[in-house]
Amino acid sequence: MVKVPLFSKSLMRARALFFLLLILGLFFLLDWSVVQNLLPLFHFSENNLAAKLIQSVYWSINIGLPIFMILSFLFVGRSKQLTARLGSIFITLFFTKIIFLIGLLFGETINLLDAGISNIIYPENNIGIIINHELFKSQLALGFAVIPFFLFIYGITKGKYRYTVHRHTLYFKDLPPAFDGFTITQISDVHSGSFHNKKAVEKGIDLINKQASDLFIFTGDLVNNSATEIEPWIDSFKTIKAPYGQYSILGNHDYGDYVTWPTPEAKSANMQRLKQHHAAIGFRLLLDEHIILEKEGQKIALLGVENWGIGFGKRGNLGKALHNIPPGIFKILLSHDPSHWDHEVRNHYQNINLTFSGHTHGMQLGIEIFGWKWSPVKFRYPKWAGLYEENSRYLYVNRGFGFLGFAGRVGIWPEVTVVTLKREI
């Protein structure tokens, strides 16, 4: 074992402390700016008793919430509902404050332009202009902030269960004629440890079954951390049926890497238990292997690999999954992380026709309107949601069925994907 020098440890701690203090300082400046610019809305001065009360309430909420989050994380556990809900409130307030500041900057820009003109035309009214400008700036910022606040509230209460079907028809020259019109329903990233509304989840499962597809596939992250999280939901998910079967793979969260286990054996036992739950649901778990689907004497191959992703473990062995597949057969791959397609599949395995992934959740936050989509997650994953094509080979990235971290969805709704395969003539 290599020992880390004491000086190096001290330097690491100093850097960590500096980073923590920097973050806390930035949060303080953000909150200080917000509360100071809220006061003009109520026509209070900083010395006013009511102004002090407003500031006390504001600081109590914005200091108390992170403290409760940390205590919940330490003593309740990162997968528990309380921690997730507190985190969701924190994220809602954080984004609301950021938009409030953007509104302030926008208002200040307008004020500067207006003040410059007014000072030239009405030089004797400078004081009144300044007062009016401060009030206008705060009003505009509040108007900006109200919109994301209520959008986040909707996302937390309703949006996370607003299951949406995305349909795509894909054409392939080498698709066997018997599979012309073959339909596939995909979901991904269930994250059952985050669920708390059985009726809403079962509504999503009913939507899956209503698609009446030939094949059902699940592309990983059945749980957040522990196999026990799916147990209350097994009976619900086992109702998913398709004529050509239900197939699944593992995602990065399924391995239990993000919690501390008492022993390596406990972690291994959790993995075995999760595999048994896949079987109990009726999912055939593909672990670096393939199966052959046959229709009217013609065949296609369905491959599934363990998780392979940049920064999230490269367990999957695609070469092993391809072993002994008949040459020239049409291939569909299930791989949880879309970065696998970018870094390995498209460059080294060009005979894979179609890949299904998930993992990104679309960050559970973004905009999709009139065929245009945007989310901050695009800066981490170039292929983050929907269909991508290169040289007649396709990647589809599912937006996820569940949610994680932020207990809601804003603009990027939970997805049920339906793909129809067509033979290009």
List 166's β-bridge partners, or say none: 417
Q: Are residues 181 and 85 in the same domain?
A: no
SS3 state of residue 148? helix
Mean pLDDT of 75-83: 64
pLDDT given for residue 214 in this prediction: 98
Structure-model confidence comparison of residues 304 and 371, the more confident one: 304
Mean pLDDT of 273-300: 98
Position 352 confidence tier, pLDDT thresholds 50, 70, 90:
very high
Contacts for 195 with CB less than 8 Å, ≥ 6 apart: 201, 233, 402
Does residue 166 sit within a domain? yes
The dihedrals phi and psi of 304, each to the nearest 5 degrees, come to -140, 130
215 with 185: CB under 8 angstroms?
Answer: yes
Contacts for 68 with CB less than 8 Å, ≥ 6 apart: 86
d(CA 360, CA 373): 14
d(CA 245, CA 321): 19
Does residue 1 sit within a domain? no
Average confidence score pLDDT of the chain: 88
Does residue 403 sit within a domain? yes
What pTM did the predictor assign? 0.85
* Pairing label, strands 354-357, 367-369: unpaired
pLDDT tops 80 at residue 82: no
**pLDDT tens-digit readout, 93-115:** 888 999 988 988 888 888 777 66
**pLDDT tens-digit readout, 209-218:** 999 999 999 9
- Rg of the chain over Cα atoms, rounded to whole angstroms, equals 26
Which residue range(s) make up the domain with 409?
161-423
Structure-model confidence comparison of residues 58 and 323, the more confident one: 323
Q: Are residues 260 and 309 in the same domain?
A: yes
Query: Cβ–Cβ contacts within 10 Å for residue 10, how many?
Result: 10
The last residue of one of the domains, among 157, 187, 215, is 157
Q: Are residues 22 and 75 in the same domain?
A: yes
Structure-model confidence comparison of residues 194 and 11, the more confident one: 194
pLDDT tops 90 at residue 124: no
Task: Give the H/E segment covering residue 96.
Answer: helix 81-121
Q: Are residues 174 and 99 in the same domain?
A: no
Mean pLDDT of 37-56: 74
Number of domains the chain contains: 2
**pLDDT tens-digit readout, 220-254:** 999 999 999 999 999 999 999 999 999 999 999 99
Structure-model confidence comparison of residues 385 and 59, the more confident one: 385
Structure-model confidence comparison of residues 35 and 337, the more confident one: 337
pLDDT given for residue 80 in this prediction: 65
d(CA 91, CA 95): 6
